[in-house]
Chain A
């Protein structure tokens, strides 16, 4: 049969954002693919060169509207390496709580967006319902619903509000029960299983070579996680193991494995939050005013010329990273260069090639299972 190119996107339910996947098909079979990105490139790296270190945080929030908290923290840890700032332990615990709650909401948004792709609309409404509980919690911390501007160089903007711990525990208890309902609905749905199992196989070594990390890598049977491999925050003080899934084929993990690993990761994130609320220095029920030495330390505003700082960070979609160069006196308080590693920018070309050999109908199932987010991809 004659081969032809089909353009999926920029407006297409499969894309979960704004980008184009050009697909070469032979009948129903995908023969070649080519992603086209850049539709929502905002030039964040350039903009950041004209902002001081505190002003950059809101831009990092907006890199990914699904996972603003983790992106802001990813930047903040790099900035602290650049500016040589020590963070109070209580602030580190608050950051951990905030980012792990964000991880749950991000995975819920993924599940909510993924399941309609493969024919299950109910889960979409359930996920958004439960995500709202956690978004409310983060709103208590940051003040706004999706873009929190919460971390500061040297600490956090505000302490946990009074009653936060109680509400958090109650919501997590409710959510962990509901998560079992999700599993009952999906793991026993023939449509879901048929569309995800044995589809989109990707092996661990190939993924690492291509730069794919995070839950997608852990689904292929390796428990590699930046949170323990290059530790930051207080993850080493909590009792946890990253979720890991046993791959279901010699060729690696399929879409179902990637779904399982994220479901498990939500449980682990919730457990980490609960443990952190127990262990937080000063107690989860006390509240320190903004700027208190318990939650924020003083940070310099300028970085010397020629200095640099970087930090590998475990984002919800893989390893994110900021590379910063200090501007020195001549450039005021601005960094000289801000460079952002987006996990999805690297993953999307890999996934596009993973689709080769499968059917057109498998494209949404494969693409969605890697959790694309175009905001961070295009920056």
Chain B
């Protein structure tokens, strides 16, 4: 039968990863737990909360000691109503992928049932919470995963979270001449839709009400 990693192997690999991170970083306030997807195969993954100040150290350790070689996504969320301690969130989704460079004419064909140790693919979710501030900033991990580079560019462009140490930050999806401080996924920019979400998002994004306000359902 086809390719299958048993759930025992999956759970055990997650627990090993959780213990390793907790042993190394719990004194710094990093907390790793095993979490489960809610539907489908209910696979276990590693969920980590990390103080932003220790993110770079944790990322370095995960990349070079934990074998986490793939940065899948770095994204941000704006929480204007999240209370004084939670104004912004940065969420990184990382993966451990069993990959080795191959010689010409050779291929690495994994048999899913026989994978063990760090060869077991694993998902990681790292959550960084920032307090309410006008200038959210977290350390950049661009130097650790090349793939983080454009993810961080996008997060700054759309959400407005800065990445300390990121080289060559620029607009990637919005026009290059967008007004400074305009980040459309911040929650003060509203969408109008059948009366749910009040305001039209004008092209400049600066709170100008549309001419048909109150007239559109």
Contacts and interface: CB of A to CB of B under 8 A. Distances in A.
Q: Do A and B come from one complex?
A: yes
Interface of A: 37-38, 41, 43, 45-47, 49-51, 77, 80-87, 203-206, 208-213, 217, 220-225, 227-233, 235-242, 244-250, 252, 308-312, 319, 321, 323, 325, 332, 334, 336-337, 339, 341, 345-346, 349-350, 378-379
Contact of B40 (A38, A209, A232, A245): A232
A50 B191 contact: yes
21 contacts: A43-B184, A80-B38, A81-B40, A204-B108, A209-B69, A210-B146, A211-B70, A211-B147, A221-B106, A222-B102, A222-B108, A224-B99, A236-B2, A241-B109, A244-B109, A247-B102, A248-B105, A309-B38, A311-B40, A323-B93, A346-B147
B93 A250 contact: no
B72 interface: yes
Given A203-B101, A212-B147, A229-B121, 4 more contacts: A46-B191, A222-B110, A236-B41, A345-B150
Nearest to B45: A230
A210 B147 contact: yes
A323 B5 CA distance: 24
Contacts, number: 205
Contacts of B59: none
Interface stretch (B18-26, B130-138, B172-180, B207-215): B172-180
A43 B189 CA distance: 12
Given A41-B173, A86-B39, A228-B112, A250 B104 contact: yes
* Residue of A83, A229, A346 with most partner-chain B CB within 10 A: A229
A228 B91 CA distance: 25
Interface string B142-183: 000111111100100010000000000001111100000000
B12 interface: no
Contact of B110 (A85, A224, A250, A336): A224
A231 B75 contact: no
Contacts of A228: 2-5, 112
Contact of A240 (B3, B93, B148, B158): B3
B206 interface: no
B217 interface: no
A47 B190 CA distance: 10
B196 A334 contact: yes
Interface in B99-131: 99-110, 112, 121, 123, 125
Given A345-B154, A349-B149, A246 B93 contact: no
Contacts of B172: 37-38
